[in-house]
């Protein structure tokens, strides 16, 4: 469930499936599945009996994505819907199935036009300009059409992938490229990573999958999945009555250089609200003596912190002082689980010595870079990281044998063994200062409670986003959502997950 496949993997499956089928079968199935969804969408937007139904605009490009669109147009026309087609004909000869689809569309009641009729109000636009075959920026007449469609207010159904979007990466294809902004995408044979990360979420809208009857066995075992509780829910275990605070681990958040006390406090609150037994704030410079809002937190001097048996979350507001570097080196040399965020990642990026220590450590390392921090770790620009987020996260995970959470819309979770996930929860309400500190504290808390690195990384990212989604559903965002509201919302998500598990507790170890 939730498997994501690269364009190369889809192409292979498509060829293998086509070899067993009459010519054009896959395109016809794509056209039928998309027409069914289009009819549902048109039904949802249809006016009253006194208002005539609006027409559907179908955009058909020069390749096989255009062939899919022509099949959709023929099916919609056959269903009695008023359809207008803009067809960008190919200079090269079309594939036989695409030529067949064009003949079918011409034989029906759909009308063909050279340009989008101005002032027409559409029930739906079907985007079949380009699919997974696009390899360069959309230019010329096709670009004008995309600009016009993106200015419309009606729903837009993209076929396979919004035209102009890279289905592997979620980036817009080509320099100065453009891509359709769809409200819905129906994607064929297998779901694709680019629909769920970077700009992909904004361009694809709601994603539906049509397998086109292609057998599972023709697709490889997926190494990338959409993050979902089914991947980690077995890690949620009800607490035993005989447990005590020592059963749930100690977390120390190391950070809070002068003037930056807030960041480690947010991380520490998240650790507390997600169930860590004892939570410390270990300040690099002298910080507050206690947190009046959260007096359960214990404050220590980072230089004298004993780290044995304690999960360290290093980085929030840590700064780059010599003291910070010394303390980070000590944490890297320890064997306890370690979360590296923010300044700790920047210090590693700037120091070959810390890089060697990180790569050599035997305990779990979980890194939570945002794109710029990831870029510094890899010695590239943030644009390069964003251009292929999956590859960047996997590269860092492999280099440091670490669990990596590459943050931002469609957060990537990459495991040291190459497995990866893309997170579907969360919203732009999270785009405010401090929400990353909360995520780091949550990661540390799950590790301190004995969770394996993989499950901790997947669950932390999913719950962090889910908490933000619930807050937005309650009206607390996205505008004005604050990081400080997240820990309590994460607590309720977490307890709900535990409630849904079979009622067998884990007896405490000590």
Ligand X SMILES: NC(=O)C1=CN([C@@H]2O[C@H](COP(=O)(O)OP(=O)(O)OC[C@H]3O[C@@H](n4cnc5c(N)ncnc54)[C@H](OP(=O)(O)O)[C@@H]3O)[C@@H](O)[C@H]2O)[C@@H](O)CC1
Ligand Y SMILES: Nc1ncnc2c1ncn2[C@@H]1O[C@H](COP(=O)(O)OP(=O)(O)O)[C@@H](O)[C@H]1O
Could you tell which of ligand Y, ligand X, K ion, none binds residue 61, using a CB distance below 5 to 8 A set by kind?
ligand X
Could you tell which of ligand Y, ligand X, K ion, none binds residue 127, using a CB distance below 5 to 8 A set by kind?
K ion
Burial of 170 (0-12, 13-18, 19+ CB in 10 A): buried
Number of separate helices (H) and strands (E) present in the chain: 16, 18
Which of 63, 264, 277, 434 contacts ligand X by CB under 6 A? 63
| Alpha carbon distance 386, 32 (integer Å) | 35
**Chain mean position to CA 100:** 38
Specify the residue, 34 or 377, whose C-beta has the smaller distance to K ion. 34
For K ion, which stretch binds (CB under 5 A), given 158-166, 306-314, 326-334, 466-474? 158-166
Tally of CA atoms within 13 A in the half-sphere of 227 that contains its CB: 29
CA distances from 61 to 18, 88, 103, 184, 496 (A): 21, 5, 15, 18, 47
Specify the residue, 214 or 494, whose C-beta has the smaller distance to ligand X. 214
**Chain mean position to CA 351:** 30
For K ion, which stretch binds (CB under 5 A), given 110-118, 163-171, 275-283, 480-488? 163-171
Q: Which residues from 95-134 bind ligand X, rule CB under 6 A?
A: 130-134
Nearby residues of 238 by Cβ (< 8 Å), 6 or more positions away: 498, 501, 503, 504, 505, 506
Which of 13, 33, 41, 61 contacts ligand X by CB under 6 A? 61
Could you tell which of ligand X, K ion, ligand Y, none binds residue 427, using a CB distance below 5 to 8 A set by kind?
ligand Y
Which of 136, 258, 326, 496 contacts ligand X by CB under 6 A? 136
User: Considering the rule CB under 5 A, would residue 127 count as an interface residue with K ion?
Assistant: yes
We find the least distance from the C-beta atom of residue 494 to ligand Y, in angstroms, to be 16
Specify the residue, 243 or 427, whose C-beta has the smaller distance to ligand Y. 427
Pairing of strands 56-60, 412-414: unpaired
As annotated, the binding site for (6S)-NADPHX includes 64-68, 131-137, 160, 263, 317, 370, 437
User: Considering the rule CB under 5 A, would residue 163 count as an interface residue with K ion?
Assistant: yes
Three-state SS at 148: helix
Rg (CA), the chain: 26
Reading the block at residue 50, the tokens are 């006194």
Nearby residues of 243 by Cβ (< 8 Å), 6 or more positions away: 508
User: Considering the rule CB under 6 A, would residue 261 count as an interface residue with ligand X?
Assistant: no
Specify the residue, 269 or 278, whose C-beta has the smaller distance to ligand Y. 269
Q: Contact positions toward ligand Y, by CB under 6 A?
A: 342, 370, 407-409, 411, 426-428, 430-431, 433-437, 439, 464
Could you tell which of ligand Y, K ion, ligand X, none binds residue 426, using a CB distance below 5 to 8 A set by kind?
ligand Y
| Alpha carbon distance 129, 108 (integer Å) | 20
| Alpha carbon distance 170, 381 (integer Å) | 17
Give the binding-site size for ligand X (rule: CB under 6 A). 27
| Alpha carbon distance 62, 398 (integer Å) | 40
Could you tell which of ligand Y, K ion, ligand X, none binds residue 262, using a CB distance below 5 to 8 A set by kind?
none
Could you tell which of ligand X, K ion, ligand Y, none binds residue 370, using a CB distance below 5 to 8 A set by kind?
ligand Y
As annotated, the binding site includes 64-68, 127, 131-137, 160, 163, 263, 317, 370, 407-411, 436-437
As annotated, the binding site for AMP includes 407-411, 436
């Amino acid at each position: 469930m939730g498997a994501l496949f690269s364009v190369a993997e889809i192409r292979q499956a498509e060829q293998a499936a086509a070899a067993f089928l009459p010519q054009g079968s896959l395109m016809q199935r794509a056209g039928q599945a998309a027409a069914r969804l289009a009819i549902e969408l048109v039904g949802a937007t249809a006016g009253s009996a006194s208002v005539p139904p609006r027409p559907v605009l179908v955009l058909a490009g020069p390749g096989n994505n255009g062939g899919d669109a022509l099949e959709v147009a023929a099916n919609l026309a056959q269903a009695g819907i008023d359809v207008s087609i803009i067809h960008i004909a190919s200079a090269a000869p079309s594939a036989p199935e695409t030529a067949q689809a064009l003949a079918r569309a011409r034989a029906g009641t759909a009308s063909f036009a050279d340009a989008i009729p101005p002032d027409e109000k559409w029930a739906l636009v079907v985007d079949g300009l380009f699919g997974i075959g696009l390899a360069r920026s959309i230019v010329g007449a096709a670009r004008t059409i995309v600009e016009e469609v993106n200015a419309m207010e009606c729903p837009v159904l993209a076929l396979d992938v919004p035209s102009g979007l890279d289905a592997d990466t979620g980036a817009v294809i080509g320099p100065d490229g453009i891509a359709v902004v769809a409200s819905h995408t129906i994607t064929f044979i297998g779901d694709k990573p680019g629909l769920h990360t970077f700009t992909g979420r904004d361009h694809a809208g709601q994603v539906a999958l049509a397998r086109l009857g292609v057998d599972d066995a023709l697709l490889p075992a997926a190494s990338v999945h959409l993050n979902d509780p089914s991947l980690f829910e077995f890690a949620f275990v009800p607490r035993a009555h005989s447990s005590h605070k020592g059963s749930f681990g100690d977390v120390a958040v190391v950070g809070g250089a002068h003037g930056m006390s807030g960041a480690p406090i947010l991380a520490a609150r998240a650790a507390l609200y997600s169930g860590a037994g004892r939570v410390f704030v270990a300040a690099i410079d002298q910080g507050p003596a206690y947190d009046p809002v959260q007096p359960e937190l214990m404050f220590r001097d980072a230089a004298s912190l004993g780290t044995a048996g304690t999960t360290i979350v290093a980085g929030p507001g840590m700064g780059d002082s010599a003291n910070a570097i010394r303390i980070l080196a000590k944490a890297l040399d320890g064997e306890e689980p370690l979360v590296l965020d923010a300044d700790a990642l920047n210090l590693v990026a700037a120091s070959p010595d810390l890089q060697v220590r990180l790569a050599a450590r035997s305990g779990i390392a979980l890194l939570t870079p945002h794109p710029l921090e990831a870029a510094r770790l890899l010695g590239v620009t943030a644009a390069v990281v964003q251009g292929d987020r999956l590859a960047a996260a996997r590269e860092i995970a492999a280099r440091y044998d670490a669990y990596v959470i590459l943050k931002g819309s469609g957060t990537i979770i990459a495991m040291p063994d190459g497995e990866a996930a893309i997170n579907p929860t969360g919203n732009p309400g999270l785009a405010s200062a401090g929400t990353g500190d909360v995520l780091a504290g949550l990661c540390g808390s799950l590790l301190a409670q004995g969770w394996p690195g993989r499950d901790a990384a997947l669950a932390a990212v999913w719950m962090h986003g889910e908490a933000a989604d619930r807050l937005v559903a309650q009206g607390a965002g996205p505008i004005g959502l604050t990081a400080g509201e997240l820990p309590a919302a994460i607590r309720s998500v977490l307890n709900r997950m535990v409630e849904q598990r079979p009622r067998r507790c884990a007896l405490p170890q000590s």
